[in-house]
Amino acid sequence: MPTTLSQSDLPGLELIHRGKVRDVYALPGNRLLMVATDRLSAFDVVLPDPIPGKGEMLTQISNFWFEKTKHLMPNHLTGEDVASVLPAGVDPALYAKRAVITKRLKPVPVEAIARGYIIGSGWKSYQQTGDICGIRLPEGLEQAQKLPEPIFTPSTKAAVGDHDENVSFDVVVDAIGEELANAVRKATLEIYTFAAAYAAERGVIIADTKLEFGTDEHGVLHVMDEMLTPDSSRFWPADEYQVGISPPSYDKQFVRDYLEELGWNKSPPAPKVPADVIERTASKYAEALDKLAGIRLD
């Protein structure tokens, strides 16, 4: 059975970051231990109730995609056994499927987003202005419609509790320089295009995805953090897709819908989530893992 972990506890290791989902520890040799917990965030706020096994599922699907796309872009994984760095007395089974040892990279301070379909904040922006992140789109597009070609629509990286903000490519250039900005855009669109084609063969539409990048000591760009998971992407079942409506997702949409019905103001603290919503959300993550990576939970 999947393990449940709301917060990691690894005495003796230096905790350097506790994010919305991941806890990150420093390791010798310019390495990190990244632990995907079962915390769930919605609207950029961490919810009080975990999704059992979610961290294991996120890590396994990320690892699958890191392996699948390594011909396109280096990634942060070292391939080392997690058990080798855990403190004495810590149960390795709790961390085996939810933690990875990675290179310690310098993060690129941009949320790199590729969109192949018009949905979410992109749809709202298009309705108001006819563009997304300064990219002019054809008139008359409908909600969830496939775009003529995938587009790069970056956003700022928000702190925990804050909201990401969509920005134009020019803002990214000003922030990180033209050469790195072009490299991030190119890699984001290449990875998205490759993954979308792979998923389509398995009956899944990847509507959009958010990637994170970092550079090593030689300035080489790597993809890092998580990759093409239900937390960072919109996965739609192809057989239920139709233009004009928001399709069902293999992700936390059950939670988002529940919170929208409550009229919550999307500021901390977040309300509790009922057990049936948690269970349905976990089953959607498991379904995505099975469909895309062929990995079935015990």
Q: Is the pLDDT confidence value at 98 over 80?
A: yes
d(CA 207, CA 185): 17
State pLDDT tens for residues 238-293.
Answer: 999 999 999 988 888 888 889 999 989 999 999 999 999 999 999 999 999 999 99
Asked whether the beta carbons of 176 and 213 are under 8 A apart, the reply is: no
| DSSP-based three-state secondary structure for 174 | helix
* Residue 163's pLDDT band (cuts 50, 70, 90): low
d(CA 115, CA 118): 7
d(CA 74, CA 295): 23
Query: Would you say the CATH fold of 107-251 matches that of 14-104?
Result: no
Asked whether the beta carbons of 34 and 51 are under 8 A apart, the reply is: no
State pLDDT tens for residues 6-37.
Answer: 999 999 999 999 998 999 999 999 999 999 99
Whether domain 14-104 has CATH 3.30.200.20: the reply is yes
Q: Is the pLDDT confidence value at 227 over 90?
A: yes
Closest CA to 120 of 242, 19, 203, 209: 209
d(CA 113, CA 225): 14
* Residue 158's pLDDT band (cuts 50, 70, 90): low
Percent of the chain with pLDDT over 70: 97
State mean pLDDT over 99-115: 97
Q: Which fold has domain 107-251?
A: D-amino Acid Aminotransferase; Chain A, domain 1 (3.30.470)
d(CA 293, CA 119): 25
Identify the residue with better confidence: 164 or 259. Answer: 259
Percent of the chain with pLDDT over 90: 86
The bridge status of strand 135-136 relative to strand 131-132 is: antiparallel
State mean pLDDT over 158-165: 59
With residues binned 3-state (H G I as helix, E B as strand, rest as coil), the percentages for the chain, rounded to 5, are 30, 25, 45
d(CA 216, CA 78): 13
State pLDDT tens for residues 166-203.
Answer: 899 999 999 999 999 999 999 999 999 999 999 999 99
* Residue 297's pLDDT band (cuts 50, 70, 90): confident
* Residue 2's pLDDT band (cuts 50, 70, 90): confident
Q: Is the pLDDT confidence value at 160 over 90?
A: no
Q: What is the mean pLDDT of the chain?
A: 93
| DSSP-based three-state secondary structure for 161 | coil
Q: Is the pLDDT confidence value at 162 over 70?
A: no
Q: Is the pLDDT confidence value at 298 over 70?
A: no
The DSSP secondary-structure symbol of 289 reads: H
State mean pLDDT over 36-50: 91
Question: What are the backbone angles phi and psi of residue 120, rounded to the nearest 5°?
Answer: 65, -140
Cβ atoms < 10 Å from Cβ of 52: 18
d(CA 127, CA 106): 36
* Domain boundaries, given as residue ranges, for the chain: 14-104, 107-251
